[in-house]
Amino acid sequence: MPLPMNKNQNIETIAVKSADYSLTDTRPVSPPLYLSTTYHRSEDGSYTNDFVYTRSGNPNRELLEKSLAELEKGTVAFAFASGMAAISALFQSLEPGDHVILPDDVYFNVRTLCTEVFERWGLAFTWVDMTDLSKIEEALRPETALIWAESPSNPQLKITDIAAVARLAKERKCLLAVDNTWPSPVLQQPLDLGADIVMHSTTKYFGGHSDVLGGCIVLKEEGPLSKRMSHVQTLSGAVPSPFDCWLIGRGIQTLPLRVKAQSKNAAALAHYLEEHPAIMKVNYPGLRSHPQYSVALAQMKEGFGAMLSVLVKGNAEKAITVANALRLFTTATSLGGVESLVEHRRSVEGDKSTTPANLLRISVGLEHIDDMIADWDQALAKK
């Protein structure tokens, strides 16, 4: 039904074509929404276009998955009802006894998912500082099946050298998966850098408007893993609704434009904040002061993302006062929408958090940069 893949096109073109349903019988320019959960069975037992029941397949999901695979230059993609559902499905596709290496500052809920759920189901996990390749090497075991990376990381914006980790993974015959939520495929393409698997919380930049939850896994190649993923997706059933798929597809059409503009705003804000006397430190991979600036420069393109974090001079209370004094930046969790958000991560992550108490995480949106800077200026001036 959807147009065949074209990996030679530029990402802006692929993004706009994400909603191309022109090959269906009514030939619409904008994609229709297929709400039907079930499809007609012919007398000979066959189904037109193989759609039987929406948990196993739906035209809106098929279109979204094709677009996700193309955007990340993969062969096959699986869409889920959230980023966490996508990660769970990947872990469920591993074997009991398998070992997984993750960054010590991995997205907080992933760590909890590992310790609270998957450890009990027979997976083993080791947490390492992924900015140091030798730490990953030391953690590798014969039963290591997967290395999980996240770059830039949440919320400290650490950078992992994806190509170097990919070489190590290949040598030791395990898979490399990259959570590419923060940079999006517009700024970073892990499969090109040698990774085998890309994961996204499509809730963030793909959706782009803070109004739909979703996730995906994109695989470089089809094979035993894609077969297992497909089974888990259909049988566990954490699939996105047709309307969720439609909304994420709508978001994707403007993804390259939004990400590049938001990233440009973030770089300008990072430079401004780095000079401000009330700020102790800015974590942003586009700053020369970032310890892995050269790695970021080599593996990211067209910008360093629209996420940054700052350490406010003073304690947690001072950081919270600044966040509450901001007017344009809304105090809320999540990221990747058109609106700028700020969050005191430590109070969200709770007791087990390793995030500095004076850290504020910033998701930079599409407002004018002058207005953003004016907002931080007045907030940081407050005692």
Ligand X SMILES: *Cc1c(COP(=O)(O)O)cnc(C)c1O
The half-sphere exposure of 316 on its side-chain side, counting CA atoms within 13 A, is 9
Alpha carbon distance, N-terminus to C-terminus of the chain: 60
234 interacts with ligand X by CB under 6 A: no
User: Residues 18, 60, 144, 201: which binds ligand X (CB under 6 A)?
Assistant: 201
Of residues 17, 61, 98, 107, which has the active-site annotation? Answer: 107
Omega prior to 155 cis, within 30 of 0: yes
Instruction: List Cβ neighbours of 269 (8 Å cut-off, separation of 6 or more).
Output: 308, 362, 364, 369, 372, 373, 376
CB of 185 to ligand X, least distance (A): 14
By CB atoms closer than 10 A (0-12, 13-18, 19+), residue 43 is exposed
Nearest to ligand X of 109, 321 (CB atom): 109
CB of 190 to ligand X, least distance (A): 13
Q: Which of 111, 109, 108 is nearest to 119 (CA)?
A: 111
34 catalytic, yes or no?
no
Nearest to ligand X of 188, 203 (CB atom): 203
Where in 98-127 is the site for ligand X (CB under 6 A)? 107
Of residues 98, 161, 179, 244, which has the active-site annotation? Answer: 179
Binding mask 250-269 for ligand X (x = CB under 6 A): --------------------
What residue has token string 């439609």?
A: 246
Where in 169-198 is the site for ligand X (CB under 6 A)? 179, 181-182
CB of 249 to ligand X, least distance (A): 16
Q: 107-131 burial by CB neighbour count: b if 16+ within 10 A, else e?
A: bbebbebbeeebeeeebbbbbbebb
Nearest to ligand X of 84, 130 (CB atom): 84
Where in 303-332 is the site for ligand X (CB under 6 A)? none
CB of 377 to ligand X, least distance (A): 28
Q: 117 and 66 in contact (C-beta within 8 Å)?
A: no
- Assign 37 to helix, strand or coil: coil
- Assign 374 to helix, strand or coil: helix
**Amino acid identity at 220:** K
55 catalytic, yes or no?
yes
107 catalytic, yes or no?
yes
Q: 185 and 215 in contact (C-beta within 8 Å)?
A: no
CB of 206 to ligand X, least distance (A): 10
Give the number of residues in contact with ligand X, rule: CB under 6 A: 14
Nearest to ligand X of 93, 201 (CB atom): 201
135 catalytic, yes or no?
no
154 interacts with ligand X by CB under 6 A: yes
Q: Which of 58, 83, 62 is nearest to 5 (CA)?
A: 62
Q: Which of 57, 152, 365 is nearest to 65 (CA)?
A: 57
84 interacts with ligand X by CB under 6 A: yes
Cα separation, 241 vs 239, whole angstroms: 7
204 interacts with ligand X by CB under 6 A: yes
299 interacts with ligand X by CB under 6 A: no
CB of 334 to ligand X, least distance (A): 7
Of residues 55, 264, 281, 318, which has the active-site annotation? Answer: 55
83 interacts with ligand X by CB under 6 A: yes
User: Residues 31, 207, 215, 285: which binds ligand X (CB under 6 A)?
Assistant: 215
CB of 82 to ligand X, least distance (A): 3
Among the listed ranges 35-43, 78-86, 117-125, 313-321, the one in contact with ligand X (CB under 6 A) is 78-86
List C-alpha distances in Å: 246 to 6, 32, 186, 222, 257: 21, 8, 20, 25, 19
**Residues marked as catalytic:** 55, 107, 179, 204
Positions in the binding site for ligand X (CB under 6 A): 82-84, 107, 150, 154, 179, 181-182, 201, 203-204, 213, 215
